[in-house]
Amino acid sequence: MHETPKRVFEQIEQERPPCERNALLHDHVCSGPPDGLLKNIYQMEHAWIYAGKQIIKKWAIIRTCWWAHQGPGLDKKINHWISLGHATDEDLKEFPRRDWEQERRYLNALYGKPVIKNNQMHVMQTG
């Protein structure tokens, strides 16, 4: 099992909003489990499995609250979409067994084009 280096998590924490899904979609109120016992409600999600393993690259990890990661709001498609917003074509070339171009077209048609610049995120409405 590959482990994500701690520094990658630290970079992500510094560079990204606490819940990337909310920053892009504004579709929920960030929350932790109902028992209220979780001190930090923000988590990291490895969005992709490739050849049976998690992709442990920075672009493939997204930051969300518990609700959107382990709670009722989990939506793998949205997480895929967000992570592809971080990935460059170079990044994706390392994982040639998947048609990323098609994946991206499909997800952007569903949710819009994610624009991520200097930690600012928004969705460009298409079509």
Residues that bind Zn ion (CB under 5 A): 19, 22, 30, 65, 68
Which tokens belong to 56? Answer: 């442990």
- Written as one letter, the residue type at 109 is A
Which tokens belong to 25? Answer: 């979609």
Q: Which is nearer to Zn ion, 68 or 107 (CB)?
A: 68
The torsion angle over the Cα atoms of residues 5, 6, 8 and 11, rounded to 10 degrees, is -170
Among residues 5, 115, 109, 2, the alpha carbon closest in space to that of 50 is found at 2
The CB-of-19 to Zn ion minimum distance in angstroms stands at 3
Q: Which is nearer to Zn ion, 22 or 83 (CB)?
A: 22
Residue 54's SS3 state is strand
Q: Which is nearer to Zn ion, 18 or 112 (CB)?
A: 18
Span between the terminal Cα atoms of the chain, in Å: 42
The CB-of-77 to Zn ion minimum distance in angstroms stands at 16
The CB-of-56 to Zn ion minimum distance in angstroms stands at 23
The CB-of-83 to Zn ion minimum distance in angstroms stands at 15
Q: Which is nearer to Zn ion, 22 or 108 (CB)?
A: 22
- Written as one letter, the residue type at 75 is D
